Amino acid sequence: MLEILQDYWKALLWSDGYHITGLAMTLWILILSVSLGGLFALVLAVGRNSEYFFIKWPIWLFTYVFRGTPLYVQLLIIYTGIYTLSFVNQHQSLNDFFQSGLNCTILAFTLNTCAYTTEIFAGAIRNVPNGEIEAATALGFNRCQLYRYIILPRAFRIALPAYSNEVIFMLHSTALAFTVTVQDLMKIARDIYAETYQPFHAFGIAAVIYLCVSFVLIFGFRQLEKHYLLYMNISGSKTC
């Protein structure tokens, strides 16, 4: 195992000398997809709770499709299916975009986590105490101010435990990126296995790296939860 680490530690962590690989690529995919998916989910979560059927129904359909089908299938459809469509081939920019495994991976992961996060945030919005909304309304808050200062901040605190699980799930899901030729951590581990014929060592090293990243993420989210739960408990005691 020490020989593998000496020979491949750079590729496992950040670069093979020519491209970003390994852990750096895995983290890049995770950060970009979770960030984009989270931003889109905030908007969609508001629409998901809309009173208008023509707004909330398409959002429900989007979340139903992407939560109801495996992420691997979604990745394959985007990487191998969309590229074959005529309107994609006829546009150079679309053609170039869907030829890239990294672009397709980020798109698939963004749409998938957006669907799950939309439902998480939408449920949290519905669980915001009515008393807080009524108090803000009595103070003259309009709809935009309600969402900006009352509903969304409170909903984020409510959704944080479930959202932390979604981020960890997406970290684990990045292991699928190697199937579309992305040089992520799992792809480097498979390359090490192919060159050394030591699957236990190759994949064991990858597992340890995933565990370390998971530990950092879990620890960070636990600290956020402690901070916001303390704030909510203090607020609740003052209200009582």
Residue 232: the pLDDT is 57
Nearest CA to 50 among 125, 103, 112?
A: 125
Residue 239: the pLDDT is 44
Domain count within the chain:
1
Q: Model pTM?
A: 0.90
Provide the CATH number for the domain around residue 40.
1.10.3720.10
Residue 231: the pLDDT is 58
Residue with tokens 């469509």: 85
Nearest CA to 65 among 119, 112, 129, 24?
A: 112
Q: Which domain holds residue 52?
A: 2-239
Tens digit of each residue's pLDDT, the chain (240 residues): 788 888 899 999 988 878 899 999 999 999 999 999 999 999 999 999 999 999 999 999 999 999 999 999 999 999 999 988 988 888 899 989 999 999 999 999 999 999 999 999 999 999 999 998 899 989 899 989 999 999 999 999 999 999 999 999 999 999 999 999 999 999 999 999 999 999 999 999 999 999 999 999 999 999 988 887 665 554 554 444
Q: pLDDT digit string (tens) for 165-221?
A: 999 999 999 999 999 999 999 999 999 999 999 999 999 999 999 999 999 999 999
